[in-house]
Each structure stands twice: as C-alpha cells, then as structure tokens.
Structure 1
C-alpha cells in the first residue's frame, strides 16, 4: 500500500525493514489516509529451528500515534501463553523503559528483540497446570498443546482418560444411528481446541512433585457440616421450584392447543357452511 506523504520517512523505513525481516509474521494496518495505525506480531523465544522447544509466546500490538517516533507508541501484550502475571508485568516495565529511552527514533524492532530475549530467558511455563492447579517444578514432565496451554503430562493423561471413559459411557447409551462415527477426540481442558497426544505415552509420566508432597485431602467435621447445610439448602430450593429436575423435564409432554382466534375462525367457517 502506498503510504501517505505525511508519514515520517523514519517510520516508513522502519516498517519496510520489519516486513523484510519478519515477512508473514507481522501485520500492519493502515488508516484511510494510508498512515500506519497498528502493528501486530506474535513473538516466540529463540530456540533455533526447534519449534517444539518454544514453551511460551505473546502477541505484541503497537499503536502508532501520528507524532511517532517523536512520542512513545501505545503497546499492548495480548494472548500470553505460559506466562504468569509477574512475568507480564516485568515485560511491561521493560517495554516502558525502552520506549522512554528511544523517544525520537524508531523503537518497534527494539521492542520485539527485547520481548524475545525475555521469553528466551524464561522459556518454561510459569503458569499453573489447569488440572491440578499446581505449578511446574524442575524435573516435572509437562505437555504443551498446539494451543499453547500447559499441563503436567500425568495430569493431562488422567483428565483425558476420564473424559474418554465418559465419552464411551454416553455412546453406549445411544442407538446405533446416533453414535459418533469419529470416535473420541482429545480436546484442551482450557480452550476445548482439538489436540493431538498419545494418552498411553502420557500415562508413563510421574506425578508432579508438588502433587506428591501435597497434604492428603480429608473430610473434616466442618466440611461435613457444610455439606449438610448445602444439602438442606438444595432441598429447600427444589421444593420452591428453584432447581430444574432433569428427569422430570425429560418426561414432560408438549401439548399444542388452538388459540382463541383460530378456534373462533374455525367455528365461523363451520357455521358458514351450515347456512350455505
């Protein structure tokens, strides 16, 4: 796209360089006047050509004010994967410092390089396993899904095994013509995207260290009292019609009756036919 004559030559040169380096990995949006407005690119850690070793990523969005580069751009980090809040906050602080240091000159490539360096240094998931809610310790076996969500391999194996068993149980209840022809398909426990993994291989993983050392769950007297109060509350709400009874709903019949207008119309037609 031809850029507006008002666009600073420094910005034009910077964008051309970014497109030459990042090629299809960068997206640049322009306004009606042909001036660049928004730059987007997803950044991964440096792992040479070993894509499977990229455990974290984040999408950088940079909005360019008309005064850029003589003022700081507006930066947002979107869709972080494998990064906790403290890591994101640290990135934002580093980005702000970098922008302040480079007022008056193009800074986008500097930001991309800065973020990539940080991701490379912390190229291990700092989030929690969404199944057991424990973090990842050194020596834990974990799995990165295609949608960049992270789980202990042991936890993911248990989750998928239970999900597969429930799927089979539901399929067994259905008549042959209603059964799925595709069979069980593993999905991500977080975003429900289809994932590819070998459940049998995942089962060979050891439990995460924090899970092994965690205190065993016990039903205390306080918990039993709470369960009893919740049971009473449930019964009370059900008696007042506040709980949907699934079995009762399934057994309901739908009765279709004529409206008063349809009934009157039908009666007038019959009367008219009598007097003909």
Structure 2
C-alpha cells in the first residue's frame, strides 16, 4: 500500500491528500479535462471529490471503501453511473491495487459528460455548447448572452438608483453601480466574470440568431397556435376589441 501511495503522490502531486490519522485514507478532487491547455482547475466545468478509506488488509484481502462527494455540474443519474462504475472496478480488481484505475475512470467519464447537465437559470434551456457557457464566481452556469443581457439590465437599474440617490442627497458609503448580483444566489458577480461577457452588439446579433433557430425548432402544434392567436388578434383589432393607446391619447389631448 505504501508503494502505491508513493506512486500516486508522484502522479497527482498536491492534488492528492493522504490522511494517516487512524486508518489511512486519501482524497482527490477530479476535474473534467476542460479546454485544451487550460490548467486552472476553477475553469473546469465538472468536478467530483473521491475519498478512499484504506483498511490495513488492503489490497491483499479487502478493497478500499470509496465515496464520491462534493460534485459540481453532475446529475443524480450521472452520479449513480459513476458509483456503479467504481463498484465494478473494485470487484474486477479485487486483491490488487486499484486506486489509480478508479481515479482515471472517473476522470475519463467526466470528460465524456463534458458539460454541466443543468439549464441556464435565466432562459431555462440546457446549455449544449461549451463556447456558450460561463461559470460565475459562485459556481452557477449560464449562457454568456443570457448573463450579458441580465448584467446590462442590472447596470441600468443600478445607475438609475445611483443618480436618484445623488439627486436626493442620500449618504452613500460606496459606489454600488458595479454590485451586480448573481441571478440565483444574489452573490456579487466578480469583475472577471463580467469582463468575459460579450458586448451588446455581439449579444444582439447572437440573440437574433438564437431566436431564428428557436423558431425553426418550434413544433407544428406551437406554430398552429401562433397562427390562430395572430388571426384572433387581427379579428379583434378590426372589430374594435383592441384598444389603440396612441389613438386614445390623441383623442384625449385634441
């Protein structure tokens, strides 16, 4: 066992934590591969922590007890699959050193999963393109364009509040115009996250393209519903059932 731990430490360096308090145990946080040449673990989209408790009779008699915990971006179904794979790996390698196999098995599966299997909390649709995704400093995932639109709206709101506070001569401890909260947890978004967002011009173009794609994907039932509601709107408008606010104001002020 000691020889195996020495080899693992030489491979994973500081990522591998060895605990010798009572029974020996190890822990390592395993990340998905992320973008090519991206060595910053915090930029990886998926991760999970593997904890292995090693009995004194390992590896000759007993297998280690492995627990997967503290995951990010994984569904319950994916976690069940990982646990099942670990169980199979332990069973197939009974009586031999198995820690490296378990760690690399998890790493390979995370790379296959690739993207966090969760919806953007702003538009409520799944994120299916790595280039479209952004992870905030509080570990939430959004489409870049969705978060960019949200940030711009919040910036405008904060600017209005700031100018109103100045106008009313309210005492302010600091300039709060850049204190934009995460849509989910309300933690302040870091400037690093905001700097990664697309400009408003790019955002507008992309949004138009996304809307066109969304329209193409609409089911026939939704298209029929749109046509019926549009026809009903025109019918009500022709019969005077729709109030034209502009004409009403002209009559009032004339």
Normalised to the residue count of structure 2, the TM-score between the two structures is 0.66
- Provide the aligned length of Structure 1 versus Structure 2: 206
Counterparts of 1:202 and 1:93, CA distance in 2? 44
1:168 to 159, 169, 172: 159
Q: 1:102 to 1:145 in 2, by over 3 A?
A: same
What is the 5 A alignment of 1:71-220? 71-138=62-129, 141-174=132-165, 175=169, 177-181=171-175, 183-191=177-185, 192=187, 194-195=189-190, 196=192, 197-198=194-195, 201=198, 203=200, 204-205=202-203, 206-207=206-207
Give the structure with the higher percent helix.
2
1:28 aligns with 2:25: no
Q: Which runs of 5+ in 2 are unaligned?
A: 227-254
Alignment of 1:225-264 (within 5 A): none
- 4+ long deviations beyond 6 Å: none
Q: Deviations over 1:26-62 (max 9, x none)?
A: 222222x5x423x221112235522477332222222
Q: TM-score, normalised by structure 1?
A: 0.61
Aligned to 2:37: 49
Is the contact between residue 145 and residue 197 of structure 2 (CA under 8 Å) also seen in structure 1?
Answer: no
| Alpha-carbon distance in 2 for matches of 1:99, 1:202 | 50
Which structure has the greater CA radius of gyration?
1
Contact 2:47 2:110 survives alignment (8 Å): yes
State the Cα RMSD in Å.
3.4
Gaps of 5+ in 1: 1-10, 219-276
The answer (yes or no) to whether the contact 2:155–2:177 under 8 Å persists in 1 is: no
